[in-house]
């Protein structure tokens, strides 16, 4: 038996630890991608590596981070004061720019960790064939430095050898080093707050409620699934291409609801492809976690308990569970969005009045890099651009907003123009891009980058061919466009491209609108 009031108190205590970790990481980081866009996530895990609590950060990071923590536990024997770093997508990671740091928490004389604190941040460059490490590579070796679980800090001292290996393989070493230091600092504050918590309530009580919260979330999720009519519901959708060939990439989800359990089967999805849109298993887990968590229309603890009633079949070697040495940089950002689209599409057949039409379905990634002559240094820049939200069963979709697996902020124009050799020439809502219906899909965005010097630009996007679907006779949202304007001439770019630009060139990213809902 447990006290429900204490349960709620501990839920907020655990969550506040993660939120404070996020504040420390944001304020102490160096890169604009982490400081301004807040492309990071923080969470708390129990001694088995199961997630206890998370901050309200990025869905694509959070459920998948548990796999990284478990890999760190299995691979490295950690002592008090140690911190493990990793980014290997085939060892619990998502894609190489997402670097995870894991720190154990020991309480007094405990010989094994009581908890783990961890955070994951997207670094704007980790090496590879192009600045920003988000090009359309064909194998993971081209995407940047791959870090297995290793100690970045031991007994509270940063391992300079490991740090040197990382910074020697990136284009902006100072930025990378201080962002990693910021990540370690965030975990340090998480440990401090856990110590205070255990001192106040006692270790056994804190452990007890970390387990009770997971059990509580499990019960709530089972109750939600039980209200979905039993049956098997399938849906398929496509990525435009893999960036190497023009062949569409199919993703199929078959959702089987039986009582209080759900099984999501991705059999029938395309085999892993040559391009970079392969997703690793951790990404697919995050998508399922997110999609089913969205079915709960009130606050519950978001932790590993939410997944106990849900099983996943993602056949190995497919685009939703790729094997080495597949390129995966786009799988985390683009394929994740399509996985959510097909899971929601399947659920719309079971509970049509609770599922929205498809949102923009892409993160519209743009990575820019080169040498900044005015500042005398290399630079790398990365951001995702928002689009339109799908119309809902009772209201219009929102305009110009990040949806589903991304939850980052807009990079302020002032920050861009202060720090980089390009400027934002145009930035506004893309009118008429939302699908029509009883309720209209949200409109996308037009964001134009004007370059003040030569640079390399990589674009990873989608929904340039297959537009976001409408539901209940609602119309599709308008597909996106990537346009290069050079010497006064417009050139349409494919959804995935790397181009070299010169002074005066403009790249215009026109993001998709959301689908409409109802006639």
Q: How many CB atoms within 10 Å of residue 169? A: 17
Dihedral sign of CA atoms 484, 490, 495, 496 in order: negative
Contacts of 364 (CB under 8 A, 6+ apart): 384, 385, 386, 387, 461, 480, 509, 511
Question: Cα separation of 232 and 34, whole Å?
Answer: 41
Question: Cα separation of 165 and 398, whole Å?
Answer: 44
Q: What is the mean pLDDT of the chain?
A: 96
pLDDT at 482: 98
pLDDT band at 297 (very low <50, low <70, confident <90, very high): confident
Q: How many CB atoms within 10 Å of residue 427? A: 14
Q: Does 2 score more than 80 pLDDT? A: no
pLDDT band at 264 (very low <50, low <70, confident <90, very high): very high
% pLDDT > 70, the chain: 100
User: What is the rounded average pLDDT of the residues 3-32?
Assistant: 95
Question: Cα separation of 462 and 319, whole Å?
Answer: 15
Q: For the segment 386-435, what is each residue's pLDDT rounded down to a tens digit?
A: 999 999 999 999 999 999 998 888 899 999 999 999 999 999 999 999 99
Question: Cα separation of 384 and 39, whole Å?
Answer: 10
Q: For the segment 78-118, what is each residue's pLDDT rounded down to a tens digit?
A: 999 999 999 999 998 999 999 999 999 999 988 999 999 99
How far are the Cα atoms of 235, 283, 320, 339, 461 from residue 269, in angstroms, in the given order? 11, 15, 8, 10, 20
Q: For the segment 210-247, what is each residue's pLDDT rounded down to a tens digit?
A: 999 999 999 999 999 999 999 999 999 999 999 999 99
pLDDT at 115: 98
Q: For the segment 340-352, what is each residue's pLDDT rounded down to a tens digit?
A: 999 999 999 999 9
Q: For the segment 131-146, what is each residue's pLDDT rounded down to a tens digit?
A: 999 999 999 999 999 9
Q: Does 1 score more than 80 pLDDT? A: no
Q: Does 154 score more than 80 pLDDT? A: yes
Question: Cα separation of 326 and 424, whole Å?
Answer: 34
- Helix 281-293 with 203-226: angle, nearest 10 deg: 70
Among 70, 14, 128, 15, which Cα is nearest to 498's? Answer: 128
Q: Which residue has the tokens 């895990």?
A: 45
Asked if residue 52 lies in contact with residue 190, where contact means CB atoms within 8 angstroms, the answer is no
Question: Cα separation of 412 and 408, whole Å?
Answer: 12
Q: For the segment 445-499, what is each residue's pLDDT rounded down to a tens digit?
A: 999 999 999 999 999 999 999 999 999 999 999 999 999 999 999 999 999 999 9
């Amino acid at each position: 038996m447990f006290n429900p009031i204490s349960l709620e108190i501990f839920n907020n205590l655990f969550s506040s630890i993660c939120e404070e970790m996020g504040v420390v990481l944001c304020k102490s980081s160096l890169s604009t991608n982490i400081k301004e866009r807040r492309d990071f996530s923080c969470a708390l895990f129990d001694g088995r590596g199961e997630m206890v609590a998370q901050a309200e950060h990025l869905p694509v990071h959070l459920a998948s981070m548990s796999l990284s923590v478990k890999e760190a536990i299995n691979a490295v024997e950690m002592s008090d004061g140690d911190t493990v770093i990793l980014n290997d997508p085939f060892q619990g990671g998502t894609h190489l720019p997402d670097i995870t740091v894991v720190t154990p928490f020991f309480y007094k004389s405990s010989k094994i960790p009581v908890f783990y604190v961890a955070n994951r941040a997207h670094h704007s460059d980790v090496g590879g064939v192009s600045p920003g490490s988000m090009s359309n590579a064909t194998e993971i070796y081209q995407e940047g430095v791959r870090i297995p679980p290793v100690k970045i800090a031991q007994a509270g001292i940063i391992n300079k050898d490991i740090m040197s290996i990382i910074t020697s393989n990136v284009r902006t070493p100072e930025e990378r080093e201080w962002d990693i230091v910021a990540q370690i600092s965030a975990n340090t504050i998480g440990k401090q707050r856990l110590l205070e918590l255990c001192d106040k309530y006692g270790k056994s009580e804190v452990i007890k409620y970390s387990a009770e919260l997971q059990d509580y979330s499990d019960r709530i999720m089972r109750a939600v699934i039980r209200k979905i009519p039993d049956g098997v519901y399938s849906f398929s959708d496509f990525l435009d291409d893999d960036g190497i060939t023009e062949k569409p990439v199919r993703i199929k989800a078959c959702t089987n609801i039986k009582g209080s359990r759900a099984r999501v089967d991705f059999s029938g999805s395309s085999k892993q492809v040559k391009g970079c849109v392969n997703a690793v298993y951790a990404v697919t887990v995050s998508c399922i976690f997110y999609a089913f968590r969205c079915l709960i229309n009130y606050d519950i603890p978001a932790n590993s308990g939410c997944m106990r009633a849900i099983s996943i079949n993602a056949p190995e070697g497919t685009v939703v569970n790729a094997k080495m040495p597949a390129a995966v940089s786009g799988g985390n950002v683009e394929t994740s969005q399509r996985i959510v689209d097909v899971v929601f599409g399947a659920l719309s057949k079971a509970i049509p009045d609770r599922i929205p039409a498809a949102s923009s379905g892409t993160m519209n990634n743009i990575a820019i890099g080169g040498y900044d002559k005015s500042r005398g240094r290399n630079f790398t820049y990365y951001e995702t651009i928002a689009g339109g939200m799908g119309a809902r069963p009772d209201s219009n979709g929102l305009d110009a907003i990040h949806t589903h697996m991304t939850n980052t902020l807009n990079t302020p124009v002032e920050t861009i123009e202060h720090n980089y050799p390009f400027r934002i020439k145009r930035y506004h809502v893309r009118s008429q891009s939302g699908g029509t219906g009883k309720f209209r899909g949200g409109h996308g965005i037009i964001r134009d980058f004007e370059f003040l010097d030569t640079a390399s630009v990589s674009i990873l996007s989608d929904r340039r061919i297959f537009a976001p679907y409408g539901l209940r006779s609602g119309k599709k949202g308008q597909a996106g466009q990537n346009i290069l304007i050079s010497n006064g001439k417009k050139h349409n770019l494919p959804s995935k491209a790397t181009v070299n630009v010169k002074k005066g060139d403009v790249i215009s990213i026109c993001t998709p609108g959301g689908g409409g809902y109802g006639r």
